[in-house]
């Protein structure tokens, strides 16, 4: 009896097509694992440096304040006063640097069809936010263990100020990332931006220490507003005379919308680099 060969149709129910959102999630997850291994995998101390850097800066500044006889600033303990400014500024500086180099550091992966230009950007935002959160919780948990009042008076206000700072920095990072694709030396602008801002963003001083006639020299700086509003939200004993939610929100909106628009317009250029 001859064999009867029947064509077998594949069961299409077993073939699961991934949506674009699922593909993006898988790509971002893979890039996140790659970034973590690249940054911390070959370093035995790993996240230790992310914690020790702001602690060392706050300690040095705290010693300077102690030498000049200042144990508190604006009725706030010096350590808490410094940490509530150093940590947000570190987030700004680290996130800006990482986003500015996001495409240049991953352009070899953009040749893969699944990887889009925005994926490395999202990856680096996630890593920097996770690092900031872990460092923030660790440092203030230690401060609470040492007897400081380390719980913010207005948690929602503190989160809002941090979120607006992240949105502002993301937009600025996207602008720099796009600029680097046209001019490689634009990466040097990050140091030009962050270095002077370190001294004029209210890290080791606050608005109440500045004479009112000189406020105009600082109130243009959105980072200064973010730090002032963070201190205002963290400490009930401090009320910022300069920090404005409307101005910080406006700067965040303009920065993010312009950065995202320019990044979207140049997305095909990133692949062809």
- How much is the pLDDT for 255? 95
- As a whole number of angstroms, the distance between CA 273 and CA 269 comes to 6
pLDDT tens column, 49-77: 767 777 777 777 777 776 666 667 777 88
**Mean pLDDT score of the chain:** 83
pLDDT-derived band at 213, boundaries 50, 70, 90: very high
Rounded to an integer, the average pLDDT of 222-246 is 93
- As a whole number of angstroms, the distance between CA 224 and CA 240 comes to 11
Report the range of poorest mean pLDDT among 71-75, 169-173, 258-262. 71-75
- As a whole number of angstroms, the distance between CA 231 and CA 228 comes to 5
pLDDT tens column, 124-149: 999 999 888 888 888 888 888 888 88
Q: Is the pLDDT of residue 14 over 80?
A: no
Measuring CA to CA, how many Å separate 111 from each of 28, 102, 179?
15, 15, 21
pLDDT tens column, 33-53: 888 877 776 665 666 776 777
Using alpha carbons only, how large is the chain's radius of gyration in Å? 23
Rounded to an integer, the average pLDDT of 203-223 is 90
In the three-class reduction of DSSP (H, G, I as helix; E, B as strand; rest coil), residue 242 is classed as coil
- How much is the pLDDT for 47? 63
DSSP conformational letter for 6: -
């Amino acid at each position: 009896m001859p064999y009867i060969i029947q064509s077998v149709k594949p069961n299409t129910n077993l073939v699961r097509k991934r949506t674009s959102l699922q593909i993006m999630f898988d790509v971002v997850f893979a890039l996140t694992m790659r970034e973590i291994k690249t940054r911390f995998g070959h370093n035995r101390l790993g996240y230790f440096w992310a914690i020790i850097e702001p602690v060392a800066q706050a300690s040095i500044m705290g010693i300077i304040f102690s030498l000049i006889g200042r144990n508190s600033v604006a009725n706030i303990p010096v350590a808490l006063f410094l940490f509530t400014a150093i940590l947000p500024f570190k987030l700004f500086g680290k996130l800006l640097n990482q986003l500015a180099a996001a495409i240049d550091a991953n352009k070899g992966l953009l040749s893969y069809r699944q990887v889009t230009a925005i994926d490395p950007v999202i990856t680096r935002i996630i890593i920097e936010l996770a690092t900031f959160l872990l460092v923030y919780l660790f440092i203030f948990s230690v401060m609470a263990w040492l007897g400081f009042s380390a719980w913010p008076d207005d948690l929602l206000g503190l989160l809002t100020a941090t979120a607006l700072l992240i949105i502002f920095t993301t937009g600025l990072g996207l602008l720099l990332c796009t600029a680097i694709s046209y001019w490689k030396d634009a990466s040097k602008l990050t140091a030009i931006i962050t270095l002077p801002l370190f001294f004029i963003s209210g890290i080791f001083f606050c608005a109440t220490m500045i004479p009112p006639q000189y406020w105009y020299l600082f109130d243009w700086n959105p980072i200064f507003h973010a730090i002032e509003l963070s201190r205002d939200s963290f400490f009930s004993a401090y009320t910022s005379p300069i920090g404005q939610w409307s101005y910080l929100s406006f700067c965040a909106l303009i920065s993010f919308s312009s950065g995202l628009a320019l990044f979207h317009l140049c997305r095909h250029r990133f692949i062809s680099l």
